[in-house]
Each structure stands twice: as structure tokens, then as C-alpha cells.
């Protein structure tokens, strides 16, 4: 696990509340477009699992959804340690991609529209409330919580196979 890196978006009022670990992951069958997402919130000795699925989606959209759904359930501003195996998600916040996209009218450096703008905008709003710190873990490397959220996300994705 790498050292935590601060988000480029800081809350106006630093939270004084709980410290929460938010483990998140997404999974997608790119051929069929079936996706699943999952997150585990851990605070004190309590845990909460959230999960869901979507059709006609992408892996990146499921990664973003996992973080978004986890942040949505927090009732007051928290310090949130986001643990993810998604370089895309982590780098967007730690290397200022989201700020550059906003400044450039939601265009990438190559002038293409930013995918998942709707999710990014909501994540930015929540990053202004919570103090986000990002930790990257290598996927499928035995990290207990990363393995759990991966398994949950895959289970959700597979639910769409039978529909």
C-alpha cells in the first residue's frame, strides 16, 4: 500500500469528525457492458458494505460510482482515506486532472470530452465537504479489503448475466 496522497480539492472547513476508511472497486465485462461496483466503509469497529450493478457501462464508471456511493452515505464531514486500485481515480484527484478538466470546459488535454462528467462533478462537490486522502493498492495483491470489494463488485456484475 502506498502512502496517502491528499486530494487537490480541499474542503472549505476541514472536518473535525470521524476518520473513515473507504475501500472501493468496480468491475466490468467490457464486451457485454455489465458492471458492478462495491465499497466498504470502515469507521471505528463498524463496517458498512454498499454494492450495485449497471448495464451498458464501463469499468471506470463503476470505479467512480463505488467512491461516489460511499461518500453519499456520510452524514457529516469526515476525513476519508480512499483506498483504491484505480490509478485513474486516484490520479484524477491527486494530480489535478479534475481541476484541469473543469478549467478546460470538461475537455481532456487532447480536446476530447471528459467521460463520466456527471460523476466527476458530484465527486468534486463531495470533495469540497470531506477531506479526501487517496491510497493506491495493487489489485489482486492480497490486500484484505481490496479483495473483498473486488469480489463484491464481480458478484454484482455477474447478476446481470442471468437477466
121 is in an annotated binding site: no
Q: How far is CA 37 from CA 95, 118, 123, in A?
A: 24, 17, 16
* CB 63, CB 86: distance < 8 Å: yes
131 is in an annotated binding site: no
Q: Show which residues are catalytic.
A: 25-26, 63, 85, 140, 150
Look at residues 87, 98, 64, 97 and name the one whose alpha carbon lies nearest to residue 2: 87
* CB 116, CB 67: distance < 8 Å: no
Q: Which residues contact 113 (CB under 8 A, 6 or more apart)?
A: 106, 107
63 is in an annotated binding site: yes
Q: What residues form DSSP beta bridges with 41?
A: 22, 48
Bind-site residues: 25, 63, 85, 150
Binding-site residues for Mg(2+) = 25, 63, 85, 150
Amino acid at each position: 500500500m502506498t502512502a496517502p496522497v491528499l486530494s487537490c480539492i480541499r474542503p472549505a472547513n476541514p472536518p473535525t469528525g470521524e476518520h473513515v476508511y473507504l475501500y472501493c472497486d468496480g468491475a466490468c465485462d467490457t464486451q457485454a457492458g455489465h458492471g458492478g461496483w462495491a465499497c466498504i466503509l470502515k469507521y471505528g469497529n463498524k463496517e458498512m458494505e454498499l454494492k450495485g450493478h449497471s448495464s451498458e457501462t464501463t469499468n471506470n464508471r463503476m470505479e467512480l460510482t463505488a467512491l461516489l456511493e460511499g461518500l453519499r452515505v456520510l452524514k457529516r464531514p469526515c476525513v476519508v482515506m480512499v483506498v483504491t486500485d484505480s490509478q485513474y481515480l486516484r490520479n484524477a484527484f491527486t494530480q489535478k486532472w479534475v481541476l484541469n478538466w473543469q478549467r478546460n470546459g470538461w475537455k481532456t488535454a487532447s480536446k476530447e470530452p471528459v467521460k463520466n462528467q456527471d460523476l466527476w462533478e458530484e465527486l468534486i462537490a463531495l470533495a469540497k465537504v470531506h477531506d479526501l486522502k487517496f491510497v493506491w493498492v495493487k489489485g489482486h495483491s492480497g490486500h484484505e479489503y481490496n479483495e473483498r470489494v473486488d469480489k463484491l463488485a464481480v458478484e454484482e456484475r455477474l447478476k446481470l448475466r442471468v437477466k
